[in-house]
Amino acid sequence: MSKQKLTYGLWSSPITPAMIGSGIRMNDVQWSPDGGTLVWSQSQDGKTSLLAWKPDEAAWDLTGDFNPSGSVGYGGGDFYAGNNQVIFADRNGRLYSKPYGAGLPRVITPGFGGAAAPVLSPDEKFIVFVHTYEGKDLLAVVDTEGSEWPKILRQGADFYMQPAISPDGSRLAWIEWDHPDMPWDGTRLMLGRLSPDGMSLDQVEQLDGDRERAVFQPCFSPDGTKLAWLVNNAEFDDLVVLDLVEGRTEKMLEDQNLLPPAWVQGRRALNWHPDGKSIYYLENQLGSVNLKQVFLESKQIELVDTGAYSLLEQPTLSRNGEIACIAQSSSLPARIIVQKDGQSKTIARSQADFLDLSDLSTPREFSWTSSDGAEVHGLYYAPANKNFSSDGPPPTIVYVHGGPTSQVFDAFNLEAAFFTSRGYAFFAVNYRGSTGYGRTYRNALRENWGKIDLQDTIEGSQALVRAGLADPNKLVIKGGSAGGFTLLNALVHYPGFFRAGLCSYGVSNLFDLDTHKFEAHYNTSLVGELPEAAEKYHAWSPVFHAEKIRDAVAIFQGSDDKVVPPEHSESIVRVLRANHVPHEYKLYEGEGHGFRKKANLIDYYETVDRFLKQHVVFSFKEEV
């Protein structure tokens, strides 16, 4: 069937705002130590649930009306799957225990502060977890019955993550770090000896890491004689194994792209094989994340065949050698899969595979050379719709990711498809400062936030235009948080370059980002130390130059955002209103840093679609 010719941006799309609002986000998946139960965390419409599955049984909900969510920093580390029970951190800050069979969740810890990353001892008698209260983070321990007040195991560092207990319950390993560093800049790997009841810790030693070398995910071998971890020693990363009996360390892998940025608790990239002779690990290759296996004796590496999936997350291995993970590709929505002996089974889906592949755009790597000689990367999605076509270069959504220490992956991107199926191109800029391209690439943004990210966004868009892939008169910039910061600076410093902007909870004032402990000193590395760098803070804070904005912009904000408070958006809106700049402002009650509620997501995408039609599709440049 021939396609109908229709103006870009007006194509009828099968991807509706309601479809996006109804989507499920997969957060984590874990096997119980005995391999008998698989537990995963998923979120929908602002609510998180834990589900369990046993082979040959239907999955069931474990947590009902509870809301399992780690409440340290940006969250994560929601639960730990034990043999007989799951331990989870609820959004109210408490830890709970829930048996896999009948019985309601039982409270374990008092209701103050926040908890995350619980780890159950092998005998299931005590739990080690990360706790935060009034700006102080620490490692705590509590008996599984919750009969006694939790005790402090370790304190003194500013941050803790990834506690791991040895299989015999005698040792505890963890990661810690201090301000002003971020966990991808420099952390410390620590190891200590637990008392038989788990209530005290001694013989603490630092095994690896410092302020310039980040360490990630200590992981004990099944017999407890070895400890593996990842460390960023050079441009890329190493996999190190310590023989705890002989005290000898050995690098299994060197200079590979292995460490994800630890924005949240509970991230994993390593798993031991049950026989202890090999380690499974994730490797990032320009935005595609594969699972590989390295054998300790030979150092031979094998790629694990997981089919068509291009992004694998949170791998977990059962004692029977079954691999479970969150898997997706550009054409397959995220799902929980279980694989053994090359056979894969889907256990749960984030949404049905109902979209026609011809309505989905396959991203392709798009790179260009910056004006200062660096190679910069992005992903380009061309317009795609089985029923429609149009002539000439398309209007293009230039997407700037948040973080800024983050990355857009080659994965299922329903938001990109929302635009491409309507006749827009979608261009995700992995500007310098992004992860996945090495330490030099990531560190290029140090003391350059507001400069390099903006340069790469503008020059990447220009390269796209030169390649005939984007209409220069209908470029749209889109971003949230740190991406919104770049967006606002683009509208300030390059008026007229973009026809419109779509800004979500964008940073507008660099002097006013001290409400969130995790990032309290982030600007020190990204911009500079105050007061010495005050001039840069002022020059690159959009709020002080917002009177230069002339292009239409839609601004979206959550009322409860503790990371980028509403004043960041509202200060820009006041200037837009005073200067009669075309704009729209939506404040979503009860939303935080990112929108989760179905009704708000539907409203957001309906507003965006309407806004783009008015200010981009039906717009024109007046003759002077």
pLDDT in tens, 268-327: 999 999 999 999 999 999 889 999 999 999 999 999 998 889 999 999 999 999 999 999
- The correct CATH number of 355-617 out of 3.40.50.300, 3.40.50.1820, 1.10.101.10, 3.30.200.20 is 3.40.50.1820
At residue 514, does pLDDT exceed 90?
no
The residues, any chain, with a CB within 8 Å of residue 624's CB and separated by 6 or more, are: none
Per-residue pLDDT tens digits for 65-77: 999 999 999 999 9
Please state whether 538 falls in left (phi above 0), alpha (psi between -120 and 50) or beta. Answer: alpha
Which pLDDT does position 515 carry in this prediction? 67
Query: Are 250 and 240 contacting, i.e. CB atoms less than 8 angstroms apart?
Result: yes
pLDDT band at 484 (very low <50, low <70, confident <90, very high): very high
- Please state whether beta strands 425-430 and 375-381 pair in parallel, antiparallel, or not at all (unpaired): antiparallel
Which pLDDT does position 47 carry in this prediction? 94
At residue 623, does pLDDT exceed 50?
no
Mean pLDDT of the chain: 95
- The pTM for the full model equals 0.94
CA triple 422-426-431, angle to 5 deg = 165
Task: State the DSSP code for 283.
Answer: E
At residue 624, does pLDDT exceed 60?
no
- For range 93-108, the mean pLDDT: 95
Per-residue pLDDT tens digits for 527-566: 999 999 999 999 999 999 999 999 999 999 999 999 999 9
Q: What does the alpha-carbon distance between residue 125 and residue 145 come to, in Å, rounded to a whole number?
A: 8
Q: What does the alpha-carbon distance between residue 263 and residue 593 come to, in Å, rounded to a whole number?
A: 13
- For range 148-168, the mean pLDDT: 97
At what angle are helices 452-466 and 482-493 packed, to 10 degrees?
70
Which pLDDT does position 516 carry in this prediction? 79
In this structure, which long-range contacts are made by residues 609-612, counting pairs with CB atoms below 8 Å and at least 24 apart in sequence?
A: 609/17, 609/422, 611/500, 611/502, 611/552, 611/554, 611/584, 612/9, 612/395, 612/424, 612/476, 612/500, 612/502
At residue 594, does pLDDT exceed 70?
yes
Query: Are 17 and 602 contacting, i.e. CB atoms less than 8 angstroms apart?
Result: yes
At residue 611, does pLDDT exceed 80?
yes
CATH of domain 25-259: 2.120.10.30
- For range 142-168, the mean pLDDT: 97
The residues, any chain, with a CB within 8 Å of residue 383's CB and separated by 6 or more, are: 8, 11, 361, 390, 394, 420, 421, 422, 423, 424, 425
Give the number of other CB atoms < 10 A from CB of residue 190.
24
Q: What does the alpha-carbon distance between residue 594 and residue 588 come to, in Å, rounded to a whole number?
A: 10
Domain extents in the chain: 25-259, 269-353, 355-617
Per-residue pLDDT tens digits for 425-479: 999 999 999 999 999 999 999 999 999 999 999 999 999 999 999 999 999 999 9
Q: What residue type is 468 in one-letter code?
A: G
